[in-house]
Chain A
């Protein structure tokens, strides 16, 4: 194989194989100073794309190495010897091996990649080293897309690609300005974009070829245990949780309770998800079958990466199993959705929700008991209050109503920063501080219900959504996180009860009230959040516009699946019909070809030959048959002499012929005379023809 390639290479370099390879390698390779500086800048930017995924010690090594490089560049330090670099690499590898378990496989590989990348810069000895660095740069930049694929990040990566290509451009044309090089690089990428998009749309989407390690990262969003204060912290986050696109009309704002986690266990301090008994079922239990009636509400959810498994739905919901990712989602007994795998990248799924359908009309004795349970020592005042309520109201519904009205009538305050409770005591909140966020009200309410003998549980999720009129979809942010209660009533199943609605009805009707927003801007440390400028209409407009673009990016690029591909291609074929596409593309390609041919054809002026010139050319053609060629550099007179010596029999005629040609060509005579001369020329041509025929 190798010798074959060598043979091929020699074949194309033919007559002289290179002098000898060894001497070729010895010639020193040095990068131009400009290029080297720009390479350093590019490297810093490349590392910035992965900085979030790297451990602190790796970041420290990288910044030290980069500083070292800069001082070498400034000629403050000499280049380290090979031994030093080798020692450094061994030390780094040892560190990596030690921390591999903690980092996880993917992160370890990324660390290794970055480490190799930063060390490689110490040993640019040959041209191939430079090329290796270029490829490493591109790989580092590309791999950062494994951790985030948002529009903004992808845009940053695109810019980095352009910057890295600029390094190569600079290497080949170091005299160019940075601006010109940048332009060239952008032009190259833009020229390449159409084909890339075409490939993206048309090239078949393949299933994963083998199992790969997935990223482990800090979980974001709701967790499966809630103590008071948790959700108020989430409310400070502007991070996107998920987006929803409704088919048909969307439900009212107050119906947008995105159920996510159901918490049924209470230990006096925190609410927890009920751990399944090990014997009965494992984590990957089968989905329950949805038996729902009534009209369904169909929508698509695009969940952002959360490194958790929870998914979001309204009320009793079923997942569209035929759609993408449909089979990977489990519907749990409590009607919450759960993904089989950790959500490490954007996930789309389609849901049918039955908002009017009751949840679990029947409740097993065990389940009922679970939902009435609370530690006997917890919150004695609330327990006493429950007893009193039980005495006052015989009807469960009346009792619930009374508790809710109490929230409304008493001086309860809805705030993001409630006073700190001792030992998470709900008693203290309910009777003394009377200030809290949704989870305070929900847990106090749920506790009260349990104490009063009504099965009740905490539900966390998201409340509301922001509508984007530009792209017609809803976004739900982490700040929309919410907690509410569900109580079980005989014959009606689990009913949603939101005590927050009684204290801060605006939250349920429209979203955060202006008071709450003001609080939010006080406590939030994200000063650049556009959310803070919601009051400025034009900024908000830009924000919505950007989000709409991001949404389309998420839908069409990140979420472009094999199914979407076949659907899209089928649609295109249906609209245009196959033969039209074939004919159309043929027409387009031929026009492109013709235009290109016209553009890149060497520009030769089409010469218009005059009659006498044509006659002369014909005579030349006749002479060619007799093996007499007129070289281009030979003048007509010289050629006439040459012909006379070669073919004496036509010498006189041809000399006269040439003479006439020259006079016609270079002298302006009267048209009469010209005509006469041309006539004579034609006659001579005829005789010449006959003569030369005789000759041959």
Chain B
């Protein structure tokens, strides 16, 4: 029998994969992928708890979160395009002008 804890475990695994991507990858587009995976792990948690508690707010928040993530991807990819135009590179280590 599949229980809520199984969904939470899958969500933990996805979150771990996303954090790994953020730590180890240097390509800006791959970091966007990793952020998306983390956001989806969070959404999965919200919907799983909403199902387990029979609660409407969880699903409502998941919907809001999906919409915010879409906005964030649009702006993030715009910034990557600008950075690519400036540096001819999408490696985040090469974006040096903001380095302290």
A and B associate in one complex: no
Residues on A facing B (Cβ under 8 Å): none
Residues on B facing A (Cβ under 8 Å): none
